[in-house]
Structure 1
Amino acid sequence: MRNSTCLQPSLATTAALPAIYSFLFPAGITGNVLAARVLSKQAPTKRTQYVYLSNLVTANLLICSTMPLLATYFARGYYWTYSSVVCRIANNFGTLIMHVSMYVTVTILCLIALSQYATLKKNSDANCSQAANENLHRCVLRKFRQPEFAKYLCIVIWLTVLCITVAAIICNNVQANAEGELHSCYSIHIEAGKFTSMLAASLATACFFVSFMTVLLSYYCLNRHLSKIQKHTCIGEKHLIYGTVKRNILVIQMILTVCFLPYHVFRPVFYGLLSGNDCTKLNYLVEIKNFLTCLAAAKSVLDPVIYLWLDKTFKRSLYGLFKKSVPEHHKGKDDVFTEETPDI
């Protein structure tokens, strides 16, 4: 069923979702603006981890910027016509920013996990070209710890995701205009899209699971690496970095599992069950999808709290924004997003 009268928003869509987005917006903007200020003025921005974190904060700010638009769309979108300016903005601009930022976030989280894992696989100063074939993966991992490589990689990720999303939106609009559909803005065309949107969604879902499994594999390899070390030596106080890196990767895995995994598991189910004339089922599917999208967007609000918890350098720098000087007992090198690896 593809007509506009079949899809009817419930109170959960017109009231609960706008309320959630309205609550998330100020919290997300405030937290990420503070994070951006810390990363730009206080944190050691030449380090690889802060290249990734700066791009992550940028993506979070873009997601937060769409929240007022999303809140308005869910509250009033059913009363807008598809051809109205506000609908075009919500459909094109909102969708573009949300999806580009979401998948940049997922990819960068994967890169942070790889970079953290690479700190523990650091080779000696020998040239990569002289390494044995079995150590090739170490040479590849070393790239993820290089700031210049991280900058160019992030640029490529932004451009790739942007191009794919723009192409999907343009093709989707062309197909809709060719069919001459006239319906409200809150419709199955906006919520599910045409064939091109489904194809782009399938590609995005595949990319998510590649990132998800990469982080999971990094955590597994790290545990295996630690087990081998413990068989030959005792991990003393100077090796506490292993525990902190392990925790960082675990936190990233938890973020992907809690915030993004439900949405991407449900997405194939959503497209698989769209066919048919059951309007009740269609409404349930769309509303579940929208609440899972909201859960994914909420991750951008949680990131500054995670930085504050994991990174003591970030905590000291944030404290320094409100104080002229940092107390002596706060000083010291205790940043857990470290790029230094102790001797094994």
Structure 2
Amino acid sequence: MSLPAAFTTPPFIPEVFTLDSTTSESYTSDLSLSDLITDLNNSSHLGLSMLPRCTYIEDFKQILLPAVYSFVFVLGLPLNAAVIQKIWRKRPNLSRNNIYTLNLAIADLLYVMSLPLLIYNYGSRDYWPFGEFACKLVRFQFYSNLHGSILFLTCISVQRYVGICHPLALWHKRGGRKLAWRVCGGVWLIVTLLCAPTFHFAATGIQRNRTVCYDLSTPKHSVNYYPYGMALTFLGFMLPFLGIMLCYCRMAVFLCRPGAYQGVSMASSEKRDKAVRMIIVVATVFCISFFPFHLTKTMYLLVRTFPDVPCKTRNLFSIIYKSTRPFASMNSFLDPILFYFTQPRYRKSTRRFMLKVTTLREKGTSV
């Protein structure tokens, strides 16, 4: 059975990525003289004919991105679905921490469900047959999940900090679950506003008779994307990250203080271990997913705005940034692990389930 024409991948041509030093991005192949003349004519219409051009080879994307996205999809879909099911079954007696975790899992699940489109796209060597709106929506889902996860992890960290360092205070208990739901609504609103410009910058384009879906921006908007990209990194990553580090430093000082738990009824050794586990897991998520991506993205945005930067240097930063981009999606299955390690009753139920399975297997082999 043959595929519809819209989903038939065009014949493969060895692909090279060309990036104008300031504004132009395009996919090109083995260039003939006529192709170069055509490209120069097109550039002159955009007012770019005097800018130097640089060629990037990106064959690594065809292997790295589909492999990582497939791995994230296979793990992230069932893990986040399981977290949502376990928390939702506890309603209406959800704790504030569980409310934040539920919204975190929903954000991750929405992103994971969009990964099959990206797997097909990169597996087909950047061919995008799904249309303009799907391109914008997939890019929006990536960045909204990324920054939504950061903000919900911030909410969880602040909640844990207050519970550990101010367990007897009453001011943070006012509002209860209703306040937590309002905070989650505010987070979704902030994420939507922060990532809404993605619908403007991300778009499809035609390069060498192949439809592509631009990630950061189209070529003509790349200069305008720079201030937005930097603002998104600062507001959506740096500020929450600093807030989380401040909470964790205060928690670490409190937990290491001699006799910190004496006279405090709710602060048991189990609660202390739970807080330590959360600090370790959240720090791991940031080290693997968030920090490398935002660092390399910032460096890449800076480098590509300077026309005097050597082509090899721009090529290097492009490869580094695009190599860390798929790992930013790994938080979609690392977040459920955070939930698992910070919820003792779910670890105990999992151990009981595994013990039951092991017992049944042993009985089956002994028969």
TM-score, normalised relative to structure 2: 0.70
1:252-290 deviation digits (Å, cap 9, x = unpaired): 123212321111112221111114385554444333223
4+ runs of 1 displaced by more than 6 Å? 234-238, 319-324
1:296-335 matches, within 5 Å, as 296-316=328-348
Compute the displacement of 1:292 (Å). Answer: 1.4
1:202-221 matches, within 5 Å, as 202-207=230-235, 208-221=237-250
Question: Matched residue of 2:330: which SS?
Answer: helix
Question: Matched residue of 1:185: which SS?
Answer: strand
Report what 1:257 is aligned to. 287
Please tell me whether the aligned partners of residues 263 and 293 of structure 1 are also in contact (alpha carbons under 8 angstroms). yes
Letter in 2 for 1:314: Y
1:1-344 matches, within 5 Å, as 1=20, 2-4=24-26, 5=28, 10-42=58-90, 45-76=93-124, 78-80=126-128, 86=130, 88-89=132-133, 91-120=135-164, 121-124=166-169, 139=171, 141-142=172-173, 146-170=176-200, 172=201, 183=207, 185=212, 190=217, 194-207=222-235, 208-228=237-257, 230=259, 233=262, 239-240=268-269, 241-275=271-305, 276=307, 280-316=312-348
Report what 2:360 is aligned to. none
Hey, what's the Cα distance between the residues in 1 that align with 2:215 and 2:278? 40
User: Percent of aligned pairs with the same residue?
Assistant: 19
Report what 1:333 is aligned to. none
- Any unmatched runs of 5+ in structure 2? 1-19, 29-53, 357-367
The CA RMSD measured in Å over matched residues stands at: 3.5
Letter in 2 for 1:39: I
Letter in 2 for 1:302: L
Hey, what's the Cα distance between the residues in 1 that align with 2:317 and 2:212? 17
Hey, what's the Cα distance between the residues in 1 that align with 2:216 and 2:243? 33
Compute the displacement of 1:8 (Å). Answer: 5.1
Letter in 2 for 1:20: V
Relative to structure 1, is the Cα distance of residues 159 and 196 closer, same or farther in structure 2, using a 3 angstrom cutoff? farther
Relative to structure 1, is the Cα distance of residues 15 and 38 closer, same or farther in structure 2, using a 3 angstrom cutoff? same
**Structure 1 range deviating more: 8-17 or 205-214:** 8-17
Compute the displacement of 1:187 (Å). Answer: 5.6
Compute the displacement of 1:242 (Å). Answer: 2.7
1:61-82 deviation digits (Å, cap 9, x = unpaired): 01211221222222335445xx
Relative to structure 1, is the Cα distance of residues 256 and 116 closer, same or farther in structure 2, using a 3 angstrom cutoff? same
Letter in 2 for 1:156: G
Please tell me whether the aligned partners of residues 66 and 94 of structure 1 are also in contact (alpha carbons under 8 angstroms). yes
Please tell me whether the aligned partners of residues 13 and 287 of structure 1 are also in contact (alpha carbons under 8 angstroms). no
Hey, what's the Cα distance between the residues in 2 that align with 1:119 and 1:111? 12
Please tell me whether the aligned partners of residues 94 and 177 of structure 2 are also in contact (alpha carbons under 8 angstroms). yes
Question: Going by fraction, where is strand more abundant, 1 or 2?
Answer: 2
Compute the displacement of 1:312 (Å). Answer: 2.0
Aligned length: 299
1:198-254 deviation digits (Å, cap 9, x = unpaired): 333222211311111111111211232345552795999963123422331332123
TM-score, normalised relative to structure 1: 0.74
Letter in 2 for 1:86: F
Please tell me whether the aligned partners of residues 38 and 318 of structure 1 are also in contact (alpha carbons under 8 angstroms). no
Relative to structure 1, is the Cα distance of residues 68 and 24 closer, same or farther in structure 2, using a 3 angstrom cutoff? same
- Any unmatched runs of 5+ in structure 1? 126-138, 325-344
Hey, what's the Cα distance between the residues in 2 that align with 1:34 and 1:254? 22
